[in-house]
A and B are shown apart, each in its own frame.
Chain A
Amino acid sequence: AQTVTQSQPEMSVQEAETVTLSCTYDTSESDYYLFWYKQPPSRQMILVIRQEAYKQQNATENRFSVNFQKAAKSFSLKISDSQLGDAAMYFCAYSLFGNQFYFGTGTSLTVIP
C-alpha cells in the first residue's frame, strides 16, 4: 500500500515570512501525481498545487512552490510571504492514476500576525 507521511503535525510562521511543510511518500512506481490540499476552518478542501512525477521542474502557483525530490521521495511545500489567510490544515496526497488517492495526516499551519 502507498503511504504518505507528514512528520510535522503543527507549524507556525510569522506573517510575511516563509515556511516549508514536509511530506514524504513511499512508492515503487515511476509516474504518479502529488498534491498539496489546504483545508481552512470552513472545512472545504482546496487544491493548492499539483506535481506530475515525470516533470523535472518544480510546480509553482503564485506564493506556493514545491521542492520535489523524486529519488528521495520527498515533496515539500514552500509558502512565501505568508498571509493570515494561509492558516489552515495542509494535506499532502499521492495518486497513481487519478483513481486512487492517499493522504498524509496533515500539518496545521498557524500564521502569527
Chain B
Amino acid sequence: DAGITQSPRYKITETGRQVTLMCHQTWSHSYMFWYRQDLGHGLRLIYYSAAADITDKGEVPDGYVVSRSKTENFPLTLESATRSQTSVYFCASSGGEGTGELFFGEGSRLTVL
C-alpha cells in the first residue's frame, strides 16, 4: 500500500543502548522529517532531509543521527539512548515546495528505562 510506514510501533530499551527507528515512504516525496511529540511541547523537529544524501538539523537534534541513502527511507538512530529520549516519534514526508501538506506515519512510541 502507498503511504508512509514506521517501525517498530513500540519499543522499550535501556539507557545506553542504540536504537534505530525506521521510516519508509512510497510516494517518492523529496522531503522527509522526524519529529518527537512530548506533552506540553507539541511536535518538535529533530532532523529533516530535502533529498537523498541531504540532511539537516532541526530544533532538537542532539543525541540523534539520521541518514538517507535512498529517497524512500529515512532511519533515525539514537546512538546511546537516554531517559529524556522517551517519547513518541513521528516520521513525515512532503512533496516539497508548492505542495503544502505534510503526511505522517503512525508514530513510534519509545520508552527508555
Contact = CB atoms under 8 A, between A and B. Distances in A.
Given A35-B101, A43-B107, A45-B104, A99 B31 contact: yes
A105 B43 CA distance: 7
B101 to A, nearest CB: 6
Nearest to B31: A99
| Size category, B interface | 20 to 34
B91 to A, nearest CB: 11
Contacts, number: 57
A105 B97 contact: no
Interface stretch (A67-75, A80-88, A90-98): A90-98
B43 A91 contact: yes
A47 interface: yes
A91 B35 CA distance: 14
B95 A103 contact: no
Interface of B: 31, 33, 35, 40-45, 48, 50, 88, 90, 92, 94-102, 104, 106-107
Interface of A: 6, 33, 35, 43-45, 47, 50, 52, 91, 93, 95, 97-101, 103-106
